[in-house]
Amino acid sequence: MQIPRTKRRTTSIHSNRNDRQNLRDMLPYIWDYRGRVLLALLFLVLAKIGNVGIPIILKYIVDALDKAQHAAPILPIVLLLAYGILRLSSSLFNELRDAIFARVRYSAMRRLSNKVLKHLHNLSLAFHLERQTGAISRDLDRGTRSISSILNYMIFQIIPTFAEFTLIALILLNQYDLKFAFVIFITVLIYVLFTFAVTEWRMEFRHTMNARESEANNQAIDSLVNYETVKSFGNEALEAKRYDDTLAEWENAAVKSQTSMSALNFGQSAIIAIGVTLIMIFASQGVVEGRMSLGDLVLVNAFLLQLFIPLNFLGIVYRSTKYALADMDLMFKLLDNKPEIQDASNAKPLSVGEGGLCFDKVNFHYQADRPILDEVSFKVPAGHKIAIVGASGAGKSTIARLLFRFYDVTGGGISINGQDIRYVTQATLRAAIGIVPQDTVLFNESIYYNIAYARPNASQADIIAAAKLANIHTFIESLPKAYDTVVGERGLKLSGGEKQRVAIARAILKKPKILIFDEATSSLDSKSEKMIQVALSQVAANHTTLVIAHRLSTIVDAEQILVMEHGRIVERGTHTALLNTGGVYALMWALQQEEKEFVF
């Protein structure tokens, strides 16, 4: 029996896109630099005038030299100098165009990137939990680069080619027989239509080729990462066959892609050859009949060849533009996402006072058929400490998320100092709350930066004081670079306990009225835990404190302990009272005491 292959997901770059709207949305970022844009366009026109002028001067040079054969030889020095000046001016104006437009392009990239990042930070937690960080990063990176690509194609490829085509058309229509302009127009039109049609046809081969290449690489890496499993089950041949089957599909697509590229190149060359041949026939006939000079023959031939130099890249530009528009669309779709949690229209700053906290019959669910909290009610008086305990999945951490208003309650209400948090601004609400999470994630920056993140304008003395209170100052000072030590991505250079102590220092530095400790000592050894407990007790003395705990030993001093099961509060009371009750809490305590005895 063969193991079924994972069903592949195919996506189209044409699906559900609005390229015109996206281009309109991009215009404001360019309009602010309209003076530079107009100047860049002026330089573009001047560069093309110089470019088109080169064949014209070349015509006069050829005619002058042709006449010199029948008279006294004269070197057309003025024409030769003019030829050199036009070549130089074409290059100069092209470079000036690029230099002037650089500010427009890179400013648009910077401002749009910043707008998207701000927007992503404003989106709800639910959005970020459902999306892959790598996918968002890729969309942002490709989207901002697509702005540069589209502007590059428009300003440096499409518009210049159109401008040059227009200038050549005007000269041909004004100076020569209509058939020359007709042949060039028809040749260019057929060339463009042929290139678009073949490029569109062969893009599917390229998509398949890229997809199978990525799939093959993933399969190879996956089999090597799981080397022991492959060897244990003796499935080396299976892995090789999976890899080869995918590469076979890649090979077929690659052959079709290369074959179609050859067909495209030959077709383009054939169109150019036919157009040039017709022009040469008409021009040669004109020379023989005395209606045209040798310079005219050189001129019209040079015009046609000059037009096809940028058109040779038309297929690449067309394909790249489509990809850039698709990438831009993904970025603008990110901007289309609306934050689920928004400030009410009449939201006011939170007047936190002493930070009294109240949950009143709070209900919450992520999905309607899966309730997380059910009629949860409790109060934490200002300056007091309450602990919440329960098994995993009981809803403990959800309470912290609701308090930060990462989600809104689906029933009941949460208030601070008598104010419903749904009707205060999110910024002032979150400024009033500090948290030490269970899984501390740090920035890939220095320890100093990570502690100071809570209050960026804090003094060095305040930061050191917070570190001492969190019992991490001595450890930091023992490091070669002390507070300047970089902690690595997600803080991986620090142990779990060290990361949590940095998080505790950060929460202390913030000086919030309300403190949440979400399994704050879960990664600490017993000695560090006791030291931190003293520090936390000192910090909590002047704060409204909510402790979410797994280790019951850390919350025995809480004024009230709430025991949760399946989203409901099933017991509440002091540590002693709950033990005397002999209920859920007493059972949890007994089990943890047995585990401690077993460890020792």
List the domains of the chain with CATH numbers.
18-174 (1.20.1560.10), 349-432+514-600 (3.40.50.300), 439-511 (3.40.50.300)
Among 274-278, 313-317, 595-599, whose mean pLDDT is lowest?
A: 595-599
pLDDT range class, residue 470, cuts 50, 70, 90? confident
Section 204-231 average pLDDT? 80
Instruction: Name which residue leads in pLDDT, 27 or 389.
Output: 389
* Distance between CA atoms of residues 368 and 213, nearest Å: 41
pLDDT range class, residue 9, cuts 50, 70, 90? very low
Q: Tell me if residue 454 falls in helix, strand or coil.
A: coil
Per-residue pLDDT for 599 more than 50?
no
**pLDDT value for 136:** 65
Helix (H) or strand (E) holding 548, with range, is strand 544-549
Q: How many other C-beta atoms lie within 10 A of the C-beta of residue 300?
A: 28
In a 13 Å sphere around the CA of 275, the CA atoms on its Cβ side amount to 27
**pLDDT value for 341:** 76
Section 573-584 average pLDDT? 84
Q: Residues 548-570: pLDDT tens digits?
A: 887 777 788 788 888 888 888 88
**pLDDT value for 10:** 43
**pLDDT value for 137:** 65
Helix (H) or strand (E) holding 570, with range, is strand 568-573
C-alpha pair distances (Å), 537 with each of 179, 382, 518: 94, 15, 15
pLDDT range class, residue 258, cuts 50, 70, 90? confident
Q: How many other C-beta atoms lie within 10 A of the C-beta of residue 28?
A: 11
Per-residue pLDDT for 352 more than 70?
yes
**pLDDT value for 532:** 65
Among 154-163, 258-267, 415-424, whose mean pLDDT is lowest?
A: 154-163
Average pLDDT of every residue of the chain: 79
Per-residue pLDDT for 146 more than 60?
yes
Per-residue pLDDT for 74 more than 50?
yes
Residue pair 484/523 in contact by the 8 Å Cβ criterion: no
What percentage of the chain carries pLDDT values higher than 70?
A: 86
* Distance between CA atoms of residues 551 and 519, nearest Å: 8
Residue pair 271/190 in contact by the 8 Å Cβ criterion: yes
Instruction: Name which residue leads in pLDDT, 330 or 255.
Output: 255
Among 276-290, 305-319, 473-487, 524-538, whose mean pLDDT is lowest?
A: 524-538
**pLDDT value for 521:** 64
Q: Residues 363-388: pLDDT tens digits?
A: 888 777 778 888 888 888 888 888 88
* Distance between CA atoms of residues 107 and 197, nearest Å: 35
Q: Tell me if residue 435 falls in helix, strand or coil.
A: strand
Among 54-63, 67-76, 186-195, 524-533, whose mean pLDDT is lowest?
A: 67-76
Q: Residues 151-172: pLDDT tens digits?
A: 777 777 777 777 777 777 788 7
**pLDDT value for 11:** 43
Per-residue pLDDT for 133 more than 60?
no
Q: Tell me if residue 6 falls in helix, strand or coil.
A: coil
What is the reported pTM?
Answer: 0.63
* Distance between CA atoms of residues 19 and 32, nearest Å: 21
Q: Is 131 exposed, middle or buried (0-12, 13-18, 19+ CB in 10 A)?
A: middle
Among 148-162, 213-227, 250-264, whose mean pLDDT is lowest?
A: 148-162
**pLDDT value for 600:** 45
Dihedral angle over CA of 229, 233, 234, 238, nearest 10: -80
pLDDT range class, residue 597, cuts 50, 70, 90? low
**pLDDT value for 428:** 87
Query: What is the DSSP annotation of 131-196?
Result: S-HHHHHHHHHHHHHHHHHHHHHIIIIIHHHHHHHHHHHHHHHHHS-HHHHHHHHHHHHHHHHHHH
pLDDT range class, residue 131, cuts 50, 70, 90? low
CA 72-78-81 angle, 5° bins = 130
Per-residue pLDDT for 83 more than 50?
yes
**pLDDT value for 522:** 60
Per-residue pLDDT for 416 more than 60?
yes
